[in-house]
Structure 1
């Protein structure tokens, strides 16, 4: 991705400058949706709140830069900055920040097996930098309000946060959620929709038969759209963060949908059914297939995990989509002779912001 083309969000408390860049952004937006919901429900006439953000990591760690934790002064929190070991200490420090309203940068050394620094032995072999900020809904510098606004626009962006005491600038790339487009409202689409929503994706279920789109079956979907097959490009918003799964069991419908999708920028098109059926579909729409299209076509859809029933098939499909969008091999981690995640640089280096 060409970062220079991404939107830059200018904010009074956010400054553009050379700084550490987080290279891992998995589920940044998904988890952030939960934080925004909790923030919106907070009664600030009765409560105070803070936001803890992982802004640096040296070595290994359970959470990566960009992970967030929303904390209220009654001891409640949403999100996480670790596997559960640092949240208690972060809560205590967040309460101090709520009182002083001064942002604080905290460093946790989890490589100490005895946990002498803060009373717990993690043995994670990493040093974690966490920024804790007080949250005021009436403050124009409120990062939650800013991020909530930019989340509504489904484009990647670079978000830069000035750290306290001249410690530098935290730079992160935020990407939209995966949007799953399910074409066909049959019984096997139900677990696909439910599981995708549990992951945190945006889900659209569509069919050209209104009777197939029953709210009691697909109530968790973000949208249920009765769209005629020749109006898909006009009626359904499709972007570079969308994945389509054709699951109707209707050859003519799938053919028409595939023809429409091939004329969009969608990076993933999955075809349910045996390989011969997929081959036949592609033969019928060959005039719309460019030489580079086969890399975004997946048939039969899903990973080979021995799936048999609709629930297992849904797991297989979503795992493949996740791997494609994250550019992962989808191989067992036991065979990976390298760290699970790409290493990221610590933000400890001071940056001149003048």
Structure 2
């Protein structure tokens, strides 16, 4: 979009003109309320940093809705002390029902024109809200603006990585699309962490909210449903706009295995989305092929890494998989492990 076109787009939304685009943008932007939705469960120790991070945002016209999902730590007392002198914060306590329920409740309470999701232990760059609000105002066709994310270990905030495994792997897709192309991208993989996007509240009409009752990947399904219903996604390539994701020490192998199982389960659900969509038969076939390829790749890796003696886990994998690819990879994995064992015995 050229400068004149951009100015006209902003005028169309703001309903007023200024001679200076920069000052006009600032005056237009500052009136837009952003609702920041923060679910928390036993993360009281991180909330002082998160609350301070929001107070330091260059964009100040926001409300933060903190929803305590039945914490058993000192979250309630900590939050009340932190927000006592700032009316922009709202604190709600609910019984433990999961992060999806908490986010959906936050959406019901939100009064802003834009929505920012934020996990209780994560952070936003100082300019993130400001730049993304400007992005959405100057691009009225865009429903969801999203930015880069940086991961950091809890005790090493100075070392940043583009991936959760802290290996330097750039996994995020930079998309600018809607419709079939956007669906293809989101079927291939989740394009962003929960705190990366800023979306228009009006876009929620294209979604049924976060799926409740699931433990993982509820954010991916939320973004995918929006794509199936015509939401326009656009990556904002500004190095000053990013989100910071805290990585906690845990059992890496267990976490990876559980995530892969959740991924397979979700891909079964994706097939239903594809089947029930108004897409053409040709597009459905192409998108389902992407989904099946990714699912089979996950299944193969999961089976190969599962010890033979772990019958319980193998049964769990079998229950969530299609029988033909399951037995195909199971037999191949048995042959693979036999050969590996045979080589080890020979080399002794």
Higher RCO, 1 or 2 (CA under 8 Å, sep at least 6)? 1
Give the TM-score of the pair, scaled to structure 1: 0.28
Greater share of helix residues, 1 or 2?
A: 2
Greater share of strand residues, 1 or 2?
A: 1
